[in-house]
Copies of this chain bind each other. A is one copy, B any other.
């Protein structure tokens, strides 16, 4: 795969001039899933026997503001895939730095073979509004009712309508919104397979760009 990509890349070099005066070569990487950032989302479901499971996904995010919806994409081989089709519900947790090792573990092993709650010492609680469990110790999760199933290939996209968001009191700022500095959320870099924390605040949305408004 790498050999193929490298060979192809070398035939696709094109010289372009950079914004900052330098010259850069654009290289073709091939059709690869290297978009940045990817999230670190922990999906909670019940299986047919009512056992709680969690798995970590990097393909997902918000996809509609009204009604508020989240999408996550899973391989059919995952235990969670069947659980969502059965239960028509799931939770999605944001992974804070302090639980990154657990979240990574949730992506390594299958709920078919292992009780991931027992293995990590984390606590499964039942959502009161959707048929799915959540991790009590995680600061932040979203409760979703299944709405759409989109078959794409290796992955199937599940779109869930957000029914509620629950967050630890001490993770909220003074406006009642998530406090990034306290939550310390994480991001994932696909293919290179690294996790990162959030860095410094760079600016305000729909404010930074106003200075470029000419009319």
- Copy count, this protein chain: 2
Contact across chains for A33 and B189 when beta carbons are under 8 A apart? no
CB distance from A77 to the nearest CB of B (A): 12
The answer to whether the Cβ of A51 comes within 8 Å of any Cβ in the partner chain is: no
Let me know if B62 and A190 touch, CB within 8 A. yes
Does residue A11 face the partner (Cβ distance < 8 Å to B)?
no
- Give the complex CA separation of A119 and B65 in angstroms: 29
Query: Known contacts A73-B63, A172-B27, A176-B29: does B190 contact A201 (CB below 8 Å)?
Result: no
CA distance A191 to B92 in the complex (A): 18
Would A34 and B64 be within 8 Å (CB), given that A108-B209, A137-B18 are in contact? no
Name the residue on B nearest A142 (C-beta): B35
The residue on B at minimum CB distance from A202 is B195
Interface contact A152-B69, CB-CB below 8 Å: yes
- Least CB distance from A102 to B in Å reads 7
Indicate if the CB atoms of B62 and A104 lie closer than 8 Å.
no
Name the B residues within 8 Å of A190 (CB-CB).
62
- Is the interface on chain A under 10, 10 to 19, 20 to 34, or 35 or more residues? 35 or more
Counting CB contacts under 8 A, is A101 at the interface? yes
Question: Given A166-B28, A206-B104, A37–B36 Cβ distance below 8 Å?
Answer: no
How long is the Cα–Cα vector from A192 to B167 in the complex, in angstroms? 15
User: 12 A-B contacts, Cβ less than 8 Å apart?
Assistant: A24-B168, A24-B169, A29-B165, A31-B161, A60-B63, A101-B212, A104-B207, A105-B210, A108-B206, A114-B215, A120-B212, A193-B205
Q: A32-B165, A33-B162 known; 7 other A-B pairs, CB under 8 Å?
A: A2-B176, A28-B164, A31-B163, A37-B37, A114-B215, A147-B152, A195-B205
> Which residues on A are within 8 Å of B, measured CB to CB?
2, 5-6, 9, 13, 16-20, 22, 24-39, 41, 58-71, 73, 92, 94, 97-109, 113-114, 119-120, 122, 125, 136-137, 139-140, 142, 147-148, 150, 152-155, 157, 159, 161-170, 172-173, 175-178, 180, 183, 185-215
Closest 4 CB pairs of A and B: A105-B209, A104-B209, A197-B199, A19-B137
